Chain A
């Protein structure tokens, strides 16, 4: 009995001293080694009288656990002290720069195209494309703009042959023609892409971007056109209300035709879209001309609908406060870095168009 008590007292006291790891290991083997004090006691259990044996074993186990815990704690204490001492010497200057990383950017026109596609996707439009090089028929004639029509003067066209039969498309409208020739109605498409006009000054570039829209079905009227564009403009500029004006205009391929203005004002030198008493023209649209439908073998007595064309670069300029159209195509690193978008910033319906 007293043996156990003595071991307990002796070693508890010892382990309370300031010990090195070696000294603790020494104690550990004195107690729990093959012939250690505790180990030997366990061997003695058999020689203990039966009446006392149960109590002895229980006491022994208790003392064993106690001492083992003491040792483990002591070791942990020393090890953590050691680590702390080591860490104390390992301080680095974390304000030094991180390893270099590369970050690219998406061009604002590409971002805007993705935004536009995302908005029209929600209301059921799909994306169509057409070639940059077009024939004169798809670009003009099929769109009810015959040769020797003054409306052709509205487009300064780049030609690729002397006969003026092959050209760079002056608008995305020929995609309407291609789409309708290829498939059967109904049609509900947008067609973003590059367009070309031989015009170059501060506000015109020889290449720019348009998005065409076309919705043809049995009963699509001007109210649908107004609703679609009203929805698009609100979503695009991320405003709840938009001041919008439809006014009559003329395009050979639509009848009736309209141009759409949105209200704006200048606040602290920045343009604010959707309010104010100034008007800004942003797109042209109208009901697809029956002649165009006939040209693509769609029966205008059964099908009707609208088309629109929007300048993408201009929309990007308005939304992101870019002043100079020419800069879009100048590839100045500083400009791309300033106006570009992070590639992970993908516009979508559920997470919103912009951050």
Chain B
């Protein structure tokens, strides 16, 4: 909503200055978005007279004009306008002036070898109208004596742009803003006694609101103005509109706009001669069409509120009129409409047709139903004054009467909600100033809500009005109490934060990427999940919700590789989606590691990152988070985006209940398709929601401290097994022998090749044996040795290597 202080003063008596005004607007909740001085530099534009024109020596269509700008010196100006002729009074812009429309700063310029000092302006260039055909022609009668004076009247008033919240339609009119300011003590609201139409002629265009279900128009006021002569608006009106950045069009359009901006009363003017057999306000039928004033044709659905006549749809009520009945400069008879339309209907119709107009914006927020007559009076009288003609009586059709809305307000509620007190006297004054009618009833006030405040419906709204006008700075700070009755984080939230930092501490950079992704990337990683499309994505590259974090992560990994970073680990912790219902999401920690370890190191041998690097990151993280790696179970069933032979699946225990993590090389086909250039790319996913949360607190997890001081022995074994046998099986077999005595098992060599039969491999392990009860003697150790060999051979088909 754009206003000027000058316009506000039409409604407000105040001695306060503009800087105070800006502060006060914000204080009452009318946020000042920007302040702009539109009139800076406009004083340079002078009323001038062409004394002589000559043909430009080097251009057929240009003229060289001698222009009197009220100074001693006559200015030479090159001009291309056909209407530039001797004696014409027009508007001259000197070098240095900035043309309002193009924002171009004029300079002394040579045009085809003739020097031109400034420019003669068209109305369009000055944003006065759309007229760009020729330069402005000013009436000699009015302007002959003003040559050399500024064309634009001097105004110090800035253009103030307010952000009006959707609950305040009343402040979409200057008067509503003035009322709020007055209530807050910033001056006094002027009591404008609107003149009323005095007429004996009847309004002869018949208007009918059809009584049907979901009729969105509850009342329709109109009056007929005959024999008008539509014309240019007078200067005061043009200035007013220009001062808030609007472009004057014609008197009738300008007047309806002015009334709308002044008191937030949208009006519509029809060319009465183009209405066939009266007006019917009704719901549209599917398939009806009409051409609106934006020159677009609209096809309507059932149930949209239309203004129609014998020939069909004239316009969409409260949204936009049609070209068929629009007013033009030669319009003689005008029907002026001032009606009330339901906000919900306005909104659903405009949404369906994707139509946004100033009238729609206002009606969907709620127009004061009782302003129908005021609007007609104000506009009709102005039309008569400017365009002449005769005004008919006002005709108002209603299908329901306006409801008077009241609230009982318990004044104690104010302190209960705001924490501070104001006196009853203050309460009464504020509410009265805002337009409430008040009846005192013991504890309560019975309030009649102003018709222009559709946002107020309950007691709490009254508290808001009172505290807003009193000032939020009156609210006292109550310091918070430092007391915690409930733990801040749940177990799973703690785990989230732990995993996040545990992974980062292993050299991974945390990324945050969109929850949506490119379906082309997602396809690689969606495995068995279904694609979840966004109906209205920002772009096709962000068209689906991610089924895996990999799709985004791999794309950004690639970008970083392209930037020349070769060895990089990144991760993200966040949601992935398995369906489009609330809750069909899982939290995943997903990481990628690319390139080499120890590249170009003087001391370490460089090598590609591999599956066992990433397995370490996963296992170490889970161990740090409190899970026992002795119980982990790993197999090689992984989704199709991993290398089928170089990836693994991890369960927290042998029960294989839920998958804790995947790790492995990214499938070479994907790397090829996405065209990632790196020596190696490995990744992992840890599924946070699948990790069983420890039931015990950390305190209870610490069991009694018990260690053995008896001597421990280490025994090495080398087994030859079939290639399919997993190291995990071997280790499990060993530990099953005697869990009390076998305290540690390490694989220290895996070997295939010479001396080992084909399809077999040798696995060498070191076993630590220690009792908590005694020092084991040679005999004991020998027994365990034999038992280990026997068990492993039985369970895995291995042979001990001699």
Contacts and interface: CB of A to CB of B under 8 A. Distances in A.
Nearest to B361: A150
Nearest to A135: B582
A337 B507 CA distance: 11
B150 interface: no
Interface stretch (B76-84, B368-376, B598-606): B598-606
Interface string A51-77: 000000000000000000000000000
Contacts of B29: 247-250
Report, as a range, how many residues of chain A touch the other chain. Answer: 35 or more
B582 A133 contact: yes
B757 interface: no
Contacts of A334: 563
Contacts of B556: 330-331
Contacts of B277: none
B417 interface: yes
Contact of A103 (B348, B507, B602): B507
A106 interface: yes
B14 to A, nearest CB: 20
Contacts of B511: 107, 331, 336
A349 B197 CA distance: 72
B580 A166 contact: yes
Interface in B50-86: none
B497 A207 contact: no
Contact of A150 (B364, B500, B534, B570): B364
Interface string A296-340: 000000001000000000000000000000001111111011001
Contacts of A96: 602-603
Contacts of B478: 221, 223-224, 226-227
A92 B29 CA distance: 73
A344 B505 contact: yes
Given A133-B577, A230-B477, A336-B511, A158 B534 contact: yes
Contact of B168 (A123, A250, A256): A250
Nearest to A346: B501
B682 to A, nearest CB: 14
Given A133-B582, A159-B534, A222-B419, A333 B468 contact: no
A150 B488 contact: no
A124 B533 CA distance: 40
Contact of B504 (A106, A131, A138): A106
Contacts of B699: none
A255 B461 contact: yes
Interface in A140-157: 148-151, 153-154
A198 interface: yes
B698 interface: no
Interface stretch (A40-48, A109-117, A262-270): A109-117
Interface string A190-229: 0000101010100000110000000000010111101110
Contacts of B348: 148
A12 interface: no
Interface string B302-328: 000000000000000000000000000
Which residue, B27, B510, B545, B553, has most C-beta atoms of chain A within 10 A? B510
Interface string B586-605: 00000000000110011110
B488 A125 contact: yes
Interface in B772-786: none
B28 A248 contact: yes
B687 interface: no
B344 interface: yes
Contacts of A97: 601-603
A108 B779 CA distance: 62
B632 interface: no
A328 B556 CA distance: 13
B31 interface: yes
A49 interface: no
Nearest to A153: B166
A194 B515 CA distance: 9
A337 B509 contact: yes
Nearest to A250: B165
B692 interface: no
B349 to A, nearest CB: 10
Contacts of A99: 601, 603-604
A162 B464 contact: no
B574 interface: yes
Interface in B499-553: 500-516, 532-538, 542, 545, 552-553
A287 B417 contact: yes
A234 to B, nearest CB: 11
Interface in B130-149: none
The 7 closest A-B pairs by CB, nearest first: A102-B507, A248-B29, A223-B419, A250-B165, A331-B556, A343-B504, A256-B464
Interface of A: 96-97, 99-107, 109-110, 114, 117, 120-127, 129, 131-135, 138, 148-151, 153-154, 158-162, 164, 166, 168, 188, 194, 196, 198, 200, 206-207, 219, 221-224, 226-228, 230-231, 245-250, 255-259, 287, 289-290, 304, 328-334, 336-337, 340, 343-344, 346
Given A126-B487, A249-B31, 6 more contacts: A107-B510, A198-B537, A230-B479, A246-B473, A248-B29, A255-B460
22 contacts: A97-B601, A100-B601, A102-B569, A110-B510, A124-B481, A126-B486, A132-B577, A133-B545, A133-B581, A160-B532, A194-B575, A198-B537, A206-B514, A221-B417, A227-B479, A228-B480, A249-B29, A287-B417, A330-B556, A333-B570, A336-B511, A337-B509
